[in-house]
Amino acid sequence: MTIRLGQGAIGEELFSERVIALRVQQLGEQLSSEYEGRLPLFIGILNAAAPFLADLTRAVTIPCEYDWIAVSKASGSDGLRIEKDTVAAIEGRHVVLIDDVVDTGVTLRYVVGTLRARLPASLAVCTLLDRPGRRVADIEIMYRAFDVTDTYVVGYGLDDRGRYRELPALHARGSRR
């Protein structure tokens, strides 16, 4: 089904609101079981991971905390930099890094390296969408909601130039234009 919002058309629905909710609930149960007796710290990568992190932490049935980190390209450089850092100290903590889409893995590798240097007790990656066919960086993904192809996806926090984040489902979107 294709829906229209304003002047643009959103493509085919890839994962409905219901399917996403069910998968997030399953991940919440899995994380609750695996982190039982610990106080995991979930760190979301802003901005697109916000709905996923919010829903996931509500699906977890054990005590947990969450925080945020934002990454951007360094001005005039090919490098990355932390734009907004975590508030919580992570040394000795069990950290679950929450991402929206793992594509090439380059940004995620940078964030994982940054967080590992802070000596967490453990560090696992959880992503809403994984595109293993585009991976160039060697990165381990412990938890994933869905695998996707090279399709550009919007909705549930993912955007196209700031638009469509508010959609409750995930939709294919043509090119980035």
Q: Give the C-alpha separation, 105 to 146, whole Å.
A: 16
What is the DSSP-derived secondary structure letter of residue 74?
A: P
Which residue has 């926090």 as its token pair? 157
Q: For the chain, what are the domain ranges? A: 16-173
Strand pairing partners for 95?
A: 41, 123
Q: Which of 103, 138, 150, 160 is catalytic?
A: 103
Per-residue pLDDT in tens (0 to 9) along the chain, 177 residues: 555 554 457 889 999 999 999 999 999 999 999 999 999 999 999 999 999 999 999 999 999 999 999 999 877 667 899 999 999 999 999 999 999 999 999 999 999 999 999 999 999 999 999 999 999 999 999 999 999 998 999 999 999 999 999 999 999 986 444
For 132, what's the count of Cα atoms within 13 Å in the CB-facing half-sphere? 5
| DSSP three-state, residue 65 | strand
Domain 16-173: CATH class, spelled out: alpha beta
Give pTM, 2 decimals: 0.92
Q: Is 103 among the catalytic positions?
A: yes
